[in-house]
Amino acid sequence: MLKACSGKWDMAPEPRPLEQSSARPQRRRRPTRRPPVILLADDTTDSRDLYAEYFETRGFSVVTARDGTGAVQAALEHVPEVIVMDLAMPQIDGLTAIQRIKADARLQQTRVIVLTGYHFALERSALEAGADLFLRKPCLPERLELHVNGLRQEQNPDRGTPAT
């Protein structure tokens, strides 16, 4: 490379290439994590909307169903990590919905929480149908989230519990 200095052309030394150790390391892009999918099945609009809004703000992808048939269809379509299922719903009840969901090979590892106003006398039936946990209403969204994340961590021990 030629350089003009005091009216004369001198040969300037070529710039040295940067050594590997002094070069800035390139950052690796983290793979984009898909938000965990949760299915909320409840025929009571207020309950369904309350939990859906809460879980969306916590980083979950929320799918809802207002009856047992819708819950089965949504589970087959979206393959959620966790399902929160009411027992008393139109068309088919929560127990039947759980059995149909668990009959699909893709959903056998999906965790199911029964969240109902029914007495604990139905807990055994719910667990036999394939539920992992039986909770009674009312249940604060924060408490439900603790149970959801606990089941997610059991399912995927190397994953952190929070959705975000």
The helix/strand/coil state of 7 is coil
Residues 6+ apart with CB under 8 A from 53: none
- In a domain, residue 101? The reply is yes
- In a domain, residue 20? The reply is no
- In a domain, residue 113? The reply is yes
- In a domain, residue 46? The reply is yes
pLDDT tens digits, residue range 84-138? Answer: 999 999 999 999 999 999 999 999 999 999 999 887 778 889 999 999 999 999 9
Mean pLDDT computed over every residue of the chain: 83
Residue 7: what pLDDT? 44
The helix/strand/coil state of 92 is coil
Question: Which pLDDT band, with edges at 50, 70 and 90, does 2 fall under?
Answer: very low
- In a domain, residue 3? The reply is no
Domain that holds residue 82: 37-155
pLDDT tens digits, residue range 61-87? Answer: 999 999 999 999 999 999 999 999 999
Residue bearing the bigger pLDDT, 159 or 81: 81
pLDDT tens digits, residue range 138-150? Answer: 999 999 999 999 9
| Number of independent structural domains in the chain | 1
Cα–Cα distance measured from residue 136 to residue 116, given in angstroms and rounded to the nearest whole number: 5
- In a domain, residue 56? The reply is yes
- In a domain, residue 108? The reply is yes
pLDDT tens digits, residue range 88-97? Answer: 999 999 999 9
| CATH number for the domain harbouring residue 119 | 3.40.50.2300
- In a domain, residue 115? The reply is yes
